[in-house]
Structure 1
Amino acid sequence: MFETIKEQPADKILMLMQSFREDPRDNKIDLGVGVYKDATGNTPIMRAIKSAEQQLWQAEQTKAYTGLAGDPGFSDAMIALVLGDTVPRENVAAAATPGGTGAVRQAFDMARMANPNVRVFVSDPTWPNHLSILKFLGIETVMYRYFDSETGGVNFDGMMADLAQAGKGDIVLLHGCCHNPTGANLNVTQWQAVIDLLLDTGATPMVDIAYQGFGDGLEDDAQGVRRVAAQVPECLIAASCSKNFGIYRERTGLLMAVAQDAGAKKLNQGTLAYLNRQNFSFPPDHGARLVTMVLTDDALRADWQAELEEMRTGMLALREQLAGELQRLSGSDRFGFLAQHRGMFSRLGASPEQVEKLRADSGVYMVGDSRMNIAGLNAQSVPLLAQAIIKAGI
Structure 2
Amino acid sequence: MFEHIERVPGDAILGLIEAFKKDTNPQKVDLGVGVYRDAHGNTPVMRAVKEAEARLLSNETTKTYIGSHGAPAYGGVVLPMVLGASSPVLEANRASATQSPGGTGALRLAADFIATQLPDRGIWVSDPTWPNHHGIFTAAGIELHKYPYVDPDNRLDFDGMLGALKKIPKGDVVVLHACCHNPTGFDLSKSQWQQVLEVVKERQLLPLIDFAYQGFGEGLDEDAYGVRLFAEQLDEVIITSSCSKNFGIYCERTGCLIMVAKDAEQMENIRSQVAIVARENYSNPPAHGGAIVSEILHDAELSAMWREELTEMRDRINTLRRDFVEALKPYGLDEKYACVAEQRGMFSYTGLTPEQVDRLRDEFGIYMVRSGRANVAGFSQENLPYLAKAIAAVND
1:308, CA displacement in angstroms?
0.4
Tell me, what secondary structure is at the counterpart of 1:107?
helix
Aligned residues of 1:149 and 1:349 also touching (Cα < 8 A):
no
Which segment drifts farther, 282-291 or 3-12? 3-12
Which segment drifts farther, 207-216 or 84-93? 84-93
Query: Which residue of 370, 373, 389 maps to 1:371?
Result: 373
Change (3 A) 1:9 1:118: farther
Residues 125-144 of structure 1: per-residue CA shift (max 9 Å, x gap)? 00000012122233211110
1:327, CA displacement in angstroms?
2.2
CA distance in 2, matches of 1:253, 1:109: 16
Aligned residues of 1:94 and 1:272 also touching (Cα < 8 A):
no
Aligned residues of 1:87 and 1:229 also touching (Cα < 8 A):
no
Tell me, what secondary structure is at the counterpart of 1:334?
coil
CA distance in 2, matches of 1:153, 1:177: 16
1:187, CA displacement in angstroms?
0.3
1:68 and 2:72 aligned? no
Tell me, what secondary structure is at the counterpart of 2:3?
helix
- Which residues in structure 2 correspond to 1:20-169 (within 5 Å)? 20-84=20-84, 85-89=86-90, 90-150=93-153, 152-169=154-171
CA distance in 2, matches of 1:5, 1:187: 47
1:16 and 2:16 aligned? yes
Tell me, what secondary structure is at the counterpart of 1:123?
strand
1:148, CA displacement in angstroms?
2.3
Which segment drifts farther, 95-104 or 81-90? 81-90
- Which residues in structure 2 correspond to 1:1-394 (within 5 Å)? 1-84=1-84, 85-89=86-90, 90-150=93-153, 152-330=154-332, 332-393=334-395
Tell me, what secondary structure is at the counterpart of 1:35?
coil
Aligned letter for 1:357? R
Q: Which runs of 5+ in 1 are unaligned?
A: none
Change (3 A) 1:331 1:145: closer
Aligned letter for 1:201? R
Residues 234-290 of structure 1: per-residue CA shift (max 9 Å, x gap)? 010000111100000000000011013222111111111111100100111100000
CA distance in 2, matches of 1:50, 1:149: 45
TM-score normalized with structure 1 length: 0.97
Residues 294-338 of structure 1: per-residue CA shift (max 9 Å, x gap)? 111000000000000000000011001001111232255121111
Residues 162-182 of structure 1: per-residue CA shift (max 9 Å, x gap)? 111223331100001000000
CA distance in 2, matches of 1:199, 1:140: 22
Residues 171-214 of structure 1: per-residue CA shift (max 9 Å, x gap)? 10000100000000000000010011000001100000111111
Runs of 4+ off more than 4 Å: none
Residues 339-374 of structure 1: per-residue CA shift (max 9 Å, x gap)? 110000001111111110010111110001000000
1:26, CA displacement in angstroms?
1.1
CA distance in 2, matches of 1:166, 1:203: 8
CA distance in 2, matches of 1:2, 1:207: 39
Aligned letter for 1:142? H
1:3, CA displacement in angstroms?
2.6
Change (3 A) 1:332 1:300: closer
Aligned residues of 2:103 and 2:254 also touching (Cα < 8 A):
yes
Aligned letter for 1:99? G
CA distance in 2, matches of 1:42, 1:192: 39
CA distance in 1, matches of 2:332, 2:216: 29
Tell me, what secondary structure is at the counterpart of 1:368?
coil
Tell me, what secondary structure is at the counterpart of 1:2?
coil
Which segment drifts farther, 232-241 or 128-137? 128-137
Q: CA RMSD in A?
A: 1.2
Which segment drifts farther, 292-301 or 86-95? 86-95
Tell me, what secondary structure is at the counterpart of 1:142?
strand
Residues 3-51 of structure 1: per-residue CA shift (max 9 Å, x gap)? 3334333211111111111111111000001000000000010010000
Aligned letter for 1:134? F
CA distance in 1, matches of 2:7, 2:164: 34
Aligned residues of 2:20 and 2:30 also touching (Cα < 8 A):
yes
Percent identical among aligned pairs is 45
Aligned letter for 1:121? W
Aligned letter for 1:144? Y
CA distance in 2, matches of 1:9, 1:267: 42
Aligned residues of 2:30 and 2:368 also touching (Cα < 8 A):
yes
Tell me, what secondary structure is at the counterpart of 1:322?
helix
Tell me, what secondary structure is at the counterpart of 2:147?
strand
Q: How many residues align?
A: 393
